[in-house]
Structure 1
Amino acid sequence: MSLPSKLHRFLLKAETLLLVTLLLSLVVIAVTQVVMRNLAGGGLLWADAYTRISVLWLAMLGAMLGSRRQSHLAIDAFVRFLPARWKNRMARINNGLTGLICFTAAWFSGDFLAQEYRYADLAFANIPNWWCEAIIPLAFFVIALRYSVAAFSPENQTNLDT
Structure 2
Amino acid sequence: MSPGARRALAWLHRFEDGLIAVAVLVLVLVAGAQIVLRNLFETGIAWADPMLRALVLWTAMLGALAAARENRHIGLDIVTYFARGRFARVLRVIALGFAAVLSGLMAWYSITLVQLDLDSGAKAFAGVPVWLVEAILPVGFALLALRLAVQALLPPPNHAPVPEIAP
Say if 1:57 and 1:135, in contact at 8 Å, map to a contact too: yes
Distance of 1:5 and 1:116 partners within structure 2: 38
Greater displacement, 98-107 / 76-85 = 76-85
1:92–1:158 CA distance, 2 compared to 1 (3 A): farther
1:6–1:89 CA distance, 2 compared to 1 (3 A): same
What corresponds to 2:60 in structure 1?
Answer: 59
What corresponds to 1:8 in structure 2?
Answer: 9
**Counterpart check, 1:79 vs 2:80:** yes
Greater displacement, 29-38 / 85-94 = 85-94
Gaps of 5+ in 2: 160-167
What corresponds to 1:102 in structure 2?
Answer: 103
Q: Once the two structures are aligned, what percentage of the paired residues are identical?
A: 32
* Other structure's SS at 2:124 match: strand
What corresponds to 1:43 in structure 2?
Answer: 44
CA deviation profile, 1:68-114 (whole Å, cap 9, x unmatched): 11212223332233232211121112111111111111000111111
Distance of 2:157 and 2:144 partners within structure 1: 14
Distance of 1:77 and 1:12 partners within structure 2: 28
Say if 2:23 and 2:55, in contact at 8 Å, map to a contact too: yes
Distance of 1:12 and 1:77 partners within structure 2: 28
Where in structure 2 are the equivalents of 1:11-160 lying within 5 Å?
11-153=12-154, 155-157=155-157
Gaps of 5+ in 1: none
Deviation at 1:121, TM superposition (A): 0.3
Say if 2:77 and 2:95, in contact at 8 Å, map to a contact too: no
Tell me which amino acid in the other structure corresponds to 1:63. A
Tell me which amino acid in the other structure corresponds to 2:156. N
Alignment size in residue pairs: 158
RMSD of aligned C-alpha atoms? 1.7
* Other structure's SS at 1:78 match: helix
Tell me which amino acid in the other structure corresponds to 1:51. L
TM-score with structure 1 setting the length = 0.90
Say if 1:105 and 1:137, in contact at 8 Å, map to a contact too: yes
TM-score with structure 2 setting the length = 0.87
Deviation at 1:158, TM superposition (A): 6.7
Greater displacement, 3-12 / 21-30 = 3-12
Distance of 1:119 and 1:50 partners within structure 2: 19
